Amino acid sequence: MFKLELKPGHLSLKQMRRVQTESVQLTLSPDCLAKIEAATATVRQVIAQGRVVYGVNTGFGLLANTHIPDEDLKQLQRSIVLSHAAGVGALMDEATVRLLMVLKINSLARGYSGIRLKVIEALITLVNAEIYPCIPQKGSVGASGDLAPLAHMSTVLLGEGEVLYHGERLPGRKGLEIAGLEPCTLGPKEGLALLNGTQASTAFALEGLFAAENLFAAAIVSGSLSVEAALASRSPFDPRIHQISGHQSRIDTATAYRKLLDHSQIEDSHRACESVQDPYSLRCQPQVMGACLEQLRHAAKVLRTEANSVSDNPLVFIEENDILSGGNFHAEPVAMAADNMALAIAEIGALAERRIALLIDSNLSKLPPFLVEKGGLNSGFMIAQVTAAALASENKSYAHPASVDSLPTSANQEDHVSMATFAARRLGEMADNTAGILAIELLAACQGVDFRAPLKTSELLEQAKQLLRDEVPFYDQDRYFAPDIEKAIRLIQSGRFAPFASTAVILSR
């Protein structure tokens, strides 16, 4: 657990990664309190003046032209929360919900949403008590915001819905009791402020980014080990080649490879070999992985901006005493960033699968067939490569862009939507697939390097190889293979290989 004083609009990627991975004790910066109070005062003033403002004293969506009398405004806000809590499917992980809630608090506390400090503080209390609303994963199209997921979050404030508390599923009212809270009666605009926003999509996308960073670092390591195992050339990593390309992400990626491959006995052993060029999966790693890094860097920039934005509707501008209806809830930036990350995650895995295929082919690698002695009696890595191929192929289907799809909702009032929630949510499955591929490559490449003994690889790659060997021994004969892959997956997903990648590569540490 770590302590975080939230300065609304200034969350860093590093802070968001920590929120996603561990419990947090959250406090608000005192600097934001006056603006929050001023925004709620503006909402009260608008009602007192008899002005009709969307979301404050009207219906929602296609019913926006329906005026709601003052005496029904509290019921209006309660009704929108309960009616919009219509999600389905498996529940979000507690880590996802924690990140979503912190993002929502960050947005509301900027003082443009017209929600009382009391309501924001109730959300903070739930986060600090590790009481997380039960939120189904499915049901949002990413405009008008993530309505269903955020409604499920908000039901708990009303004493409705359900929560997860230390892994136990409890009624929402019980969760409030544990946190020392009473059910809230929402004021004008507060229900809509809670429901409207991109925080579910953004939380899923950030999780995809953090996973992709771990994958990228692990792929630099496993790809470098494959270079060594296959006795491949170092010339494709020469800085002169990449400098004239002008692509900074490629330049940085090539630097990361050179750092890992520097000073190797294996390299020295084949300097005078007759091989002219290696297959693309070895030779073009800086180009392909550099392009993937470019997508991750762009996505990181977009997601950091979105995580700190105000994305509900309408918005309160206290200086002008005005409430404006717009469309910041439309999560198209998140959807496109997620689609770009999907391409990167798929390509990281696709390139690694080709290297596995190369290593098990003795005609190409000059290693024992399927990386095991006594081939025929032993099948070695034969079916592990089939698994990698299956995962890579599955990711190709997942990589189809979600943002190009749209189905009108709310009787065509919301006639173009982003599909950002699915775009981001599918990144988790894709990242798991690529982690499986990289785990198999890591096992295969370390096996190949061990076959080059007594020659050693570089000092850094020996350290990386030892991380695996501490968990998985050399594959001397056929054994139950799946546990080896699972152990390697856990190493990759834990981020243990991140220190071996250039500091220019990892974005959120």
Give the C-alpha separation, 303 to 420, whole Å. 12
Residue 91 to residues 112, 231, 307, 331, Cα–Cα distance (Å): 30, 47, 22, 21
Q: Is the peptide bond before 144 cis (omega within 30 degrees of 0)?
A: yes
CA-wise closest residue to 316 among 425, 440, 187 = 187
∠ Cα 141 147 152 (to 5°): 125
Q: How far apart are CA 1 and CA 24, in angstroms?
A: 5
User: What residues contact 33, with CB distance under 8 A and at least 6 apart?
Assistant: 117
The kind and range of the H/E element at 361 are: none
Record the tokens describing residue 121, joined without a space. Answer: 């503080």
Strands 162-165 and 131-133: antiparallel
Q: Are 349 and 437 in contact (CB under 8 A)?
A: yes
Residues in the chain: 509
- Whole-angstrom CA distances from 372 to 352, 450, 475 are 20, 11, 7
∠ CA 198-177-188, nearest 5°, is 45
In the chain, the N- to C-terminal Cα span, in Å, equals: 17
- Give the C-alpha separation, 489 to 408, whole Å: 40
SS3 letters for 327-355? CCCCCHHHHHHHHHHHHHHHHHHHHHHHH
CA distances from 155 to 85, 173, 186, 199 (A): 8, 10, 11, 16
CA 128 – CA 231 distance, rounded (Å): 53
Q: Answer yes or no: 54 catalytic.
A: yes
Burial 66-93 (b: 16+ CB within 10 A, else e): eebeeeebeebbbebbeebbebeeebbb
Residue 223 exposure: Cα atoms within 13 Å on the Cβ side:
34
The residue annotated as part of the active site, out of 54, 132, 165, 475, is: 54
Amino acid letter for position 119: V
d(CA 139, CA 86): 7
Token pair of 434, please?
């690529």
Backbone angles phi, psi at 232, to 5 degrees: -85, 165
Q: Report the catalytic residues.
A: 54
